[in-house]
A and B are shown apart, each in its own frame.
Chain A
Amino acid sequence: QVQLVQSGPEVKKPGASVKVSCKAPGYSFSSYGISWVRQAPGQGLEWMGWISAYNGNTNYAQNLQARVTMTTDTSTGTAYMDLRSLRSDDTAVYYCAFTQNPYTSSLPFHFWGPGTLVTVSA
């Protein structure tokens, strides 16, 4: 069972950017793909995009493509999700989820991080 660690809660003003991190200590990071999923308060789940930890290939949800960047740092085994031009409706818990193959994004999410609450408020 892969245990994921995410960065702490963030409070941001509208128009700012946020960068959330996700790490899998002790695991072969390059063997995985990482999806990011968010959940607004009291709402359902929204897939944001995916990145391969092997080669950095990405697949973003079209509605967020202009504002989101997903990256990895293989030296530290950390994935990052950067969301720009924040709005109040970006307030949500942001989850990372690892998939067991770095070559395709068409996989179920076997392992989930605990989530990072991002609050956007003036």
Chain B
Amino acid sequence: EIVLTQSPGTLSLSPGERATLSCRASESVTSRYLAWYQQKVGQAPRLLIFDASSRATGIPDRFSGSGSGTDFTLTISRLEPEDFAVYYCQQYGRSPYTFGQGTKLEI
């Protein structure tokens, strides 16, 4: 199975700053089938980015995704207070569809 490794494990930033989250795959992700999800405490995950760089419906344009092959990045251009959460990457190109271990974005 494809193992996804996210870094850093925890990212401490302030509102207004730029956040860069990394997701590295153990092998190439088919057709850039890589998604990013945001999860707040007590809530279900929410899809932010799919196909590596496409924003899901209703997602603000401060969220952007990039990358291909084995290296992917989620960037939040200017952090808002509601952005502090845990972020997961997921590959859905090859079953089993694995998730990274998560990056906690904290104030």
Q: Which residues of A contact B (CB under 8 A)?
A: 1, 35, 37, 44-47, 59, 61-63, 95, 105-110, 112-115
Contacts and interface: CB of A to CB of B under 8 A. Distances in A.
Contacts of B45: 37, 45, 95, 109, 112
4 closest residue pairs by CB, A with B: A108-B50, A112-B44, A108-B35, A45-B99
A53 B101 CA distance: 29
Given A44-B88, A45-B45, A114-B44, A109 B99 contact: no
Contact of B88 (A45, A63, A105): A45
Q: For this complex, into which size category does the number of interface residues on chain B fall?
A: 20 to 34
Given A106-B92, A106-B93, A107-B92, A44 B44 contact: no
A108 B47 contact: yes
Contacts of A47: 90, 96-99
Interface of chain B: mostly helix, strand, loop or mixed: loop
A107 B35 CA distance: 9
Contacts of B97: 35, 47, 105-106
A113 B44 CA distance: 7
Interface string B71-107: 0000000000000000010101111111111100000
Contact of B47 (A46, A110, A113): A110
